[in-house]
Amino acid sequence: MRAAFYTEQGPAREVLKVGEQPKPEPGPGEVRVRLRTSGVNPSDWKARRGGSGRGLAAPLVIPHSDGAGDIDAVGPGVPVSRIGERVWIWNGQWKRAFGTAAQYIALPSAQAVPLPQNTDYASGACLGIPALTALQAFRLAQVQRESVVLVSGGAGAVGHYAGQFAKLRGARVLATVSGDAKAAHAREAGADSVINYRTEDVGARVKALTNGRGVDAVIEVDLTANAKLLPAVLRPHGVAVVYGTGAAEASIPALWLMLNSATLRLFLIYDLSAADRAAVLDEINTLLVQGRLVHAVGQRFPLDKIAEAHEAVERGAVIGNVVLDIP
């Protein structure tokens, strides 16, 4: 099969190769998926580049955890009725050598989730990390109807879904962005107010927009950069759910967080408990079937151009998700 792979970590153009690899056979409890798309996420380039304690996961890595396609074979113990199912993939390359940047992947049956007919394969490649991360963040924040939420980085791949989940829960959304195009993108996802974090005083704007009260929850894309804003934006007893950090360490306003009984929650989408995984899959499936999610595929590349796709994600050059089309 045709696949993209690397055998050493480094810059995209130096280490990513595209060529022939053995077609996998599904083992017990596994399905094999003929992939149509593969989603590129920041953690894919971070794993490929290495550093910050990330070593090479296997002698040969086929990258990417997200993707979508059709089940074309099943292993022992999996009903043959699954053959032909349209599916999307989660954790395709989490603690596994062979991810979705290939014509085929064999993986546990539960990691290939039915993709409704109303959702195309490119959108299906945005679900495993961006959509599930945003959804889990909202579950941890316990956002209620009429809560006010600050979505930090509201135009990001995760942030765009976060705005939608906030609105679906009946919350009011404030979103930070870095410019007009990102402001428009965040508004499409449901942001009621946008704040340019590069040119405006975020704390003052949030206070003005909440009558001085602060928001009930912050969904944070970069704890290292933004922890210092928490005293200015979060209300007492509020919660900040962190899914991203720009550096390995962050300085947090510890005394303010303690004096205000604030909650700081961090999580890794790859590593959900079985109960959380079941809950997010169930909710995503319901929303997909009901056609209530907007997917933002920002740019598509053919598999052969995987290095350019990684560079685009690494530079933050694309508004929306970057997706590879698999031949």
- Site of interaction with ligand NAP (CB under 6 A): 41-43, 129-130, 133, 152-153, 155-159, 176, 178, 182, 197, 221-222, 225-226, 243-244, 267-269, 316
Residue number with CB closer to ligand NAP (32 or 182): 182
Residue number with CB closer to ligand NAP (33 or 126): 126
| Cβ 320 vs Cβ 157: under 8 Å | yes
Residue number with CB closer to ligand NAP (24 or 159): 159
Cβ of residue 151: shortest distance to ligand NAP, in angstroms? 9
**In angstroms, rounded to a whole number, what is the distance separating the alpha carbons of residues 323 and 121?**
10
Residue number with CB closer to ligand NAP (4 or 319): 319
Q: Measuring CA to CA, how many Å separate 107 from each of 4, 113, 134, 222, 263? A: 17, 11, 24, 32, 36
Categorise residue 31: left if φ over 0, alpha if ψ from -120 to 50, beta otherwise.
beta
Amino acid at 213: R
Cβ of residue 245: shortest distance to ligand NAP, in angstroms? 7
Residue-by-residue DSSP string for 281-294: HHHHHHHHHTT---
Residue number with CB closer to ligand NAP (142 or 178): 178
Residue number with CB closer to ligand NAP (87 or 202): 202
Cβ of residue 235: shortest distance to ligand NAP, in angstroms? 20
| Cβ 3 vs Cβ 62: under 8 Å | yes
Burial of 155 (0-12, 13-18, 19+ CB in 10 A): buried
Q: Give Cα 324 to chain centroid, integer Å.
A: 16
Residue number with CB closer to ligand NAP (32 or 48): 48
Cβ of residue 168: shortest distance to ligand NAP, in angstroms? 18
Residue number with CB closer to ligand NAP (3 or 233): 233
**In angstroms, rounded to a whole number, what is the distance separating the alpha carbons of residues 85 and 115?**
8
Cβ of residue 162: shortest distance to ligand NAP, in angstroms? 9
Cβ of residue 153: shortest distance to ligand NAP, in angstroms? 3
* 104: CB partners within 8 A, 6+ apart: 1, 23, 24, 32, 33, 34, 35, 72
Cβ of residue 54: shortest distance to ligand NAP, in angstroms? 12
**In angstroms, rounded to a whole number, what is the distance separating the alpha carbons of residues 128 and 135?**
11
Cβ of residue 200: shortest distance to ligand NAP, in angstroms? 12
| Cβ 132 vs Cβ 164: under 8 Å | no
Q: Which residue is nearest to ligand NAP (CB)?
A: 156
Cβ of residue 259: shortest distance to ligand NAP, in angstroms? 25
Pairing assessment for the beta strands 30-40 and 104-108 based on DSSP bridges:
antiparallel
Amino acid at 200: E
Q: Measuring CA to CA, how many Å separate 19 from each of 1, 3, 48, 162, 244? A: 8, 6, 17, 37, 33
Residue number with CB closer to ligand NAP (15 or 202): 202
